[in-house]
Amino acid sequence: MAAPIDSTIAHPAATGQSYSYRVHMYWRGEDPDGYVAGFLWAFDDSSVGHLRYTTKTDSTFDLTVNDSTDILGGSTIIGFTRFHTFYIKAVDNLGKADPNFAIFNRTTFKAATIKPRVRFVGSLPGGIGIDTLADGAPFRVSWTGDDSDGVVIRYKVNVGAYSGPLVTDTFAVFNDPTNPRSINLGSGLYNLTITAVDNAFAVGTTAFFFVVNHDPETWFEPKGNPNGYYHPPFLGGEAVDESVVVPFAEGDTVPYRSTVWFNWGGEDLGRPGTPNNPNPESNCVDAYSLELRNGTRNGGEPYVIGFVDSIRGNPVRPFKSSEPNYLRQSGNQNFVLDSLDAGFNMYLLAASHDCSGRGDGTKAAFRFNSNFRPFMDSLRVDCGNSGPQGSPPFQDGRFITWFAHDVEDGKARSVRIQYDDLLTEPTPDGVEFWFKADSTFARLRPGSISHSVRVWAVDRAGFVSDSSLVVNFDLVPCVPPGSTITRRK
């Protein structure tokens, strides 16, 4: 029986040492009753099927820091270093191998590499912006790569749902029906990533964002100088005939509870004439949406009509108007913007939707207000003697009389009264005068004969007048007629 043989790795000398991905290994073997004829070696897997035979006592190995399956979409995190274990067995002249892998005939070390670089060459189709590619138009992207400690051997393209194979190509073609290798991209936002792979399977990437399909453009009619229309239910406290229609411009105010409507249009021509898109896009517009943002009301909670392509009727018409009769006759009365709530800086937004499924990213906007604020017309303060609501106990005080005007209702619903700039109280709806005892003023400003009454108007929507009227008076015993009056100019 042959005596045991042994094999020893002479380099690397220390287990766990870091080396470049390219290593030069040395080994030797001994056999006390014969001679060493060769060696069995393997990396990482020492099972029988992975052992290779050699008669050499050294060799240079190029190791990898990733597996190709990792690069193609595996679950392992891509890195730039990897631990490897090298195994070696001596085989004697009788074909007997070293019986096991002891510490002296295996070693573990870390291979490391510098990641490759990849960059785009030529002009990118997106230029410096994002939204620059016409829907369906073919385009091409080129790149190049280099590696400071190796060579780039493959590239990989990822864009949208497309995850390409490892290839040697340095360009990709998109949306070209004449090229069988063209990558087809529909309307949407994309991140194109190019991955360079070097001979150690280290990777480097570069990427840029772009959009296929310009968003359509939308406007309110007439284009360039838009206006809306309203029908007021009441003006000056009187009902208004339904045939009354009033046009209004952007920034105007419409009466409270008015019905408003607009006309709009859209097109999808791309951005012809721009550096990357000299030709028009030629897409169609197939639907529109509306959104009413209520400004100061309900925290701006919007009312939204999603994308609608057409309104039923004979003939069927595109959804390009919110004219009430047009909508009611087609059974779309829920689209009518009637009995409008009060609000300032209200916005109606319109967006067109193209035939590739993209909506206008910069919606057309029309700003307006709903509900005219009331205003104080006159205020009078007179001496008098009365009690709460005209009932005993009677005492000296001040009769406060006013007229508060409202565009929609003729008269404001109520007022807000402030005494001596210290005490404020609202009045009930519908009253036109108020009594306040002199004792109240005396308590507010003890020892002073100078006092004041300030009044604001409040309308049916709860809006308060922008300005107030004030009367200053001296708190002295009433001597009829003894009065002070202030009138709105």
Please, which pLDDT band fits residue 469 given cuts at 50, 70 and 90? very high
Residue pLDDT, tens place only, 342-401: 988 999 999 999 988 889 989 999 999 999 999 999 999 999 888 776 778 888 999 999
The pLDDT > 70 percentage for the chain reads 83
Cα–Cα dist 391/102, whole Å: 114
Position 385 scores a pLDDT of: 87
Whether pLDDT at 461 is above 70: yes
How far is CA 194 from its chain centroid?
Answer: 26
Joined tokens for residue 79: 């890195």
Residue pLDDT, tens place only, 201-249: 888 889 988 888 888 899 999 999 999 999 999 999 999 999 999 999 9
Strand intervals (E) in 199-322: 203-212, 217-220, 227-231, 234-235, 238-239, 246-249, 253-254, 259-261, 264-267, 285-293, 302-308, 310-311, 317-318
Q: Whose structure tokens read 């006309």?
A: 263
Strand duo 17-20 + 106-112: pairing: parallel
Exposure of 299 by Cβ count < 10 A (0-12 exposed, 13-18 middle, 19+ buried)? exposed
How many CA atoms are closer than 13 Å to the CA of 271, on its beta-carbon side?
16
Domains, the chain, with CATH or none: 6-112 (2.60.40.10), 117-212 (2.60.40.10), 217-370 (2.60.40), 375-487 (2.60.40.10)
Position 130 scores a pLDDT of: 61
Cα distances from 364 to residues 64, 128, 349, in angstroms, run: 56, 25, 5
Inter-residue long-range contacts of 205-208, CB under 8 Å, 24+ positions, other chains counted: 205/118, 206/118, 206/119, 206/120, 206/143, 208/120, 208/124, 208/126
H helices of 206-363, where?
Answer: 324-329
